[in-house]
Amino acid sequence: MAKLEQFNTRRVFALTMIALAFIGLFVRACYLQLIEADFLHAKGNNLYVRSMNISAHRGAIYDRNGQPLAISTPVYRVIADPQISSQYPESIQLVAQTLGISESKLKQKIKQRKQKRYLSIQRHVLPETAQQLKGMRNTGFRVEREYRRYYPGGEMAAHLIGLTNSDDAGVEGLEKVYESWLGGAAGKKKVAKDKRGRVVADIGQMLPPKLGKDLSLSLDKRIQYVVYRELKKAVLKHQAKTGSVVVLDPANGEILAIANYPGLNPNNRNNVGASSIDQLIRNRAIADVFEPGSTAKPFVMAAAFEGGHYKVASTIDTNPGVLKVGSTTVRDKNNLGIIDMTTILSKSSNVGSVKVALNTPEEDLWRIYSNVGFGQTSGSGLLGEQSGVLKNYIDWNKGQRITLAFGYGMSVTTLQLARAYGVLANDGVLAEVSFVHGDSQAGGRRILSAKTTQQIRQMLRKVVSVEGTAQQARLQVYTAAGKTGTSRKLSNGEYAKDQHIALFAGMAPATQPEVVIVVMIDQPTQGGYYGGVVAGPVFARVAETVLRLRNVRPDRILDAGSSLLLSGAKR
């Protein structure tokens, strides 16, 4: 009997404990479900819910006619989870074969990061290649979409447009200047991952991506192609170091083309080192300065005319072709004798230009040089643009005043020189430079009188005649006006006898200029080095094509070897 009572007591105790356990579990469950639910849910999400970036599509860059110059195309990144992928050697082999990489190196990378959950294998994988790997998610490999910049024009406009890095962010040129406009902003989304770190579901979007905006440039892709082609031919023909060309619309300051050679193909940088990229992508038209030489002489004439010191018909005695002022000696190639102002330009007389400058107040000359933009940036907003050098006339000595008369003792860029010649082409009005289509402002700032600039344009037409220094810059069906320049380069503080800058700065049609074109060839070594021989032909070929592309009506008709000018002819 005692044993039965003892058994019943134990049974009651056991049942009581079981009941209490169930009650405790029930209470605990209620507590977790009702009171701790939010905390536990958040904790669970922290373990299995992650946020992922959503790539933002970068804005495209177009030319003035809507032709693409830079677009972002979808590509993919191949990613591995080393903790999982290390267990599937056959998948490692397939990924290596598909991507064309070393299987042994891939195995080594995965092994070294075996404790990690994320390893980037390869970026910018083409869609068709990525498609072959999309079914391998369960083996620790996956692909994620990203974007890569593509430049349809290749190297022809790379110096201006610039580059993006592997993350599709601008690092050079307009890509960098307009990064906030083009780049947009990445979005975010929530995803659920399993215990192996694999994405099993999209939960929802946290922040939508902000798409980049498109940018329309003032460049004309057709003109840019022609300019780059002709520049490349000239640099190679004359075995020059580098070259630059700028084509500008003088009426509104819009840049229709800006090219440099050598160039870089931004679509293929695999075999180019970082330092080489920096040099090849350098926009030399805005970053390299040089002494403009005789291309500065028209502005000496402008200062003389504006101040009333000389007229077009004034004459200068250049005998005997040599002028010595103090310790400075100035020479002409030939003794030109007594010549008028037009001949000073057409024959590029240094002696004549110096005599005009010496009889013109130095403040007047400095004011013209400064007002057309020498010694200051163009305001284009481009990174790396140089201002050049133009000292204030207060700091000039006699020797500097003389050398400034034929373009030495100061420095400019190709873009600055084009902007200055835009004043001559635009009846004395300086238009602000712009690389964005439709961004140019109406009007401009008057620098010279219309009468002075029209007189100088007429004088510059003689330069491209059979009597001038730029016969090879003549056009077939259009009139042209311009000035040659051949300046020596400084080397170790002295002017080198065998290193030159060949220049031609001009406009067409001369009757009513539609374009200004400046050609700079740095250090030509074959086939001559004078501006009229090296740079003049580039101007002619570019100008002829550009005017036709812009549907400008010819103003010069060839008839039995003679030319008939149609004054005022325009598109």
CB 470 within 8 A of CB 464: yes
CB 376 within 8 A of CB 387: yes
Please report, as a single letter, which amino acid is at residue 6. Answer: Q
Going by C-beta distance under 8 Å and a sequence separation of 6 or more, which residues neighbour residue 420? 299, 372, 373, 374, 412
**Can you name the residues that pair with 258 across neighbouring β-strands?**
246
128: exposed, middle or buried (C-beta count within 10 Å: 0-12, 13-18, 19+)?
A: exposed
Q: What is the C-alpha separation between 132 and 116, in angstroms, rounded?
A: 25
Helical segments of 372-490, H only: 398-404, 414-425, 450-461
Alpha-carbon torsion, ordered 55, 56, 57, 62, to 10 deg: -140
Q: What is the C-alpha separation between 188 and 190, in angstroms, rounded?
A: 7
CB 291 within 8 A of CB 306: no
- DSSP of 226-239: HHHHHHHHHHHHTT
Q: What is the C-alpha separation between 294 and 483, in angstroms, rounded?
A: 7
Q: What b-and-e string marks burial along 135-156, b requiring 16 or more CB atoms within 10 Å of the CB?
A: ebeebbbbbbebbbbebebebb
Going by C-beta distance under 8 Å and a sequence separation of 6 or more, which residues neighbour residue 79? 118, 119, 120, 121, 141, 142, 143, 144
Please report, as a single letter, which amino acid is at residue 44. Answer: G
CB 486 within 8 A of CB 503: yes
Q: What b-and-e string marks burial along 515-533, b requiring 16 or more CB atoms within 10 Å of the CB?
A: bbbbbbbbbbeeeebbbbb
**Relative orientation angle of helices 89-99 and 103-112, to the nearest 10 degrees:** 130
Q: What is the C-alpha separation between 188 and 487, in angstroms, rounded?
A: 58
CB 110 within 8 A of CB 92: yes
Sign of CA dihedral 18, 20, 24, 30: positive
Nearest by Cα to 349 from 321, 312, 314: 321
DSSP state of 34: I
Please report, as a single letter, which amino acid is at residue 108. Answer: Q
Residues acting as catalytic residues: 294
Tell me the two tokens of residue 82: 């080393």
Nearest by Cα to 531 from 516, 520, 542, 545: 520
CB 424 within 8 A of CB 456: yes
CB 219 within 8 A of CB 157: yes
Tell me the two tokens of residue 160: 């201006």
Nearest by Cα to 229 from 206, 205, 259: 259
| Parallel/antiparallel/unpaired status of strands 215-216 and 61-62 | parallel
